[in-house]
């Protein structure tokens, strides 16, 4: 009788099980990657909105007196991204003191991305 050696290798069931496990983990990694990209975009948008809010606040604090009270709105671009901003100046109960509110939001959703509040001595 011939001497039969056991053949080494993987069976079809083992290969299919390995492919199933790999595909499940690959789907999880793809989902994690897309969530990371969305999170990074949101952080980038918020950082640029903070820069815009700081610019608008610095502008309001350094304008020569008198600073007009009321609402001023506009649109600006930071690194290719468009933002809507609002600056509201209101007098306080203290004579000569103004409250400055700056809000920066995303134009497509209206979501507030940054908000600053400051005080300035009025005329």
Convert the pLDDT of each residue in 29-78 to its tens digit: 898 888 999 899 999 999 999 999 999 999 999 999 888 899 999 999 99
Which pLDDT score, from 0 to 100, does residue 65 have?
86
Convert the pLDDT of each residue in 8-23 to its tens digit: 788 999 999 999 999 9
Torsional sign, CA 47, 37, 77, 86 = negative
pLDDT (average), residues 82-93: 96
- Given a contact cutoff of 8 angstroms between Cβ atoms, the answer to whether 82 and 64 are in contact is no
Torsions phi, psi for 89 (to 5 deg): -115, 120
Which helix (H) or strand (E) segment holds residue 115: the answer is strand 112-121
The CATH number, out of the four listed (3.40.50.300, 3.30.1300.30, 3.30.450.30, 3.40.50.720), of the domain defined by the range 12-121: 3.30.1300.30
Q: How many CB atoms lie within 10 A of CB 78?
A: 16
Interatomic CA distance for residues 49 and 44, integer angstroms: 9
Torsional sign, CA 90, 92, 95, 96 = negative
Question: Is this model's pTM higher than 0.85 or not?
Answer: no
Domain residue spans of the chain:
12-121
């Amino acid at each position: 009788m011939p001497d039969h050696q056991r053949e080494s290798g993987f069976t079809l069931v083992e290969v299919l099980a390995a492919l199933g496990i790999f595909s499940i983990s690959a789907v999880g990694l793809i989902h994690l990657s897309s969530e990371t990209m969305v999170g990074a975009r949101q952080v980038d948008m918020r950082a640029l909105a903070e820069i815009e809010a700081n610019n608008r606040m610095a502008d309001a604090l350094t304008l020569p007196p008198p600073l007009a009270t009321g609402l001023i709105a506009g649109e600006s671009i930071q690194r290719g991204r468009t933002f809507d901003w609002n600056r509201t100046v209101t007098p306080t109960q203290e004579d000569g003191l103004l409250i400055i509110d700056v809000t920066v939001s995303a134009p497509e959703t209206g979501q507030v991305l940054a908000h600053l509040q400051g005080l300035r001595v009025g005329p």
